[in-house]
């Protein structure tokens, strides 16, 4: 997943006791899609971060589907040339 500099800049402005949970939220949401339970300032800013993560996950998943389809087509074309 892509970790944007803005994530770090945002996290650095959080109170130290919220920072680790915020980083874990970014990682878990990016890798699993799991929505975190945050509180304090993190809870207020999370919707903005979440929207970016959701967009990136969708883009990555669509890219994966396209890559698999292209590989399949390439293999089929190679097989046809052999025959």
Six token digits for residue 35 = 């929505």
Residue with tokens 């680790």: 20
> DSSP string covering 12-36, please?
HTS-HHHHHHHHHHHHHHHHH-PPP
Angle between helices 5-12 and 40-82 (to 10 degrees): 160
Per residue in 10-51, pLDDT tens? 999 999 999 999 999 999 999 999 999 999 999 999 999 999
pTM, 2 dp: 0.71
Q: How far apart (Å, rounded) are the C-alpha atoms in residues 18 and 56?
A: 24
Cα atoms in the 13 Å half-sphere on the side-chain side of 66:
6
Whether residue 71 is predicted with pLDDT greater than 90 in this model: the reply is: no
In the structure, what pLDDT confidence band is assigned to residue 60 with cuts at 50, 70 and 90?
Answer: confident
């Amino acid at each position: 997943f892509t970790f944007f500099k803005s994530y770090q800049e945002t996290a650095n402005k959080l109170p130290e006791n919220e920072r680790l949970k915020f980083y874990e939220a970014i990682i878990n949401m990016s890798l699993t899609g799991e929505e975190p339970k945050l509180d304090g300032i993190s809870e207020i800013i999370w919707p903005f971060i979440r929207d970016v993560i959701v967009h990136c996950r969708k883009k990555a998943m669509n890219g994966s589907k396209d890559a698999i389809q292209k590989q399949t087509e390439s293999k089929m074309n190679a097989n046809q040339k052999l025959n």
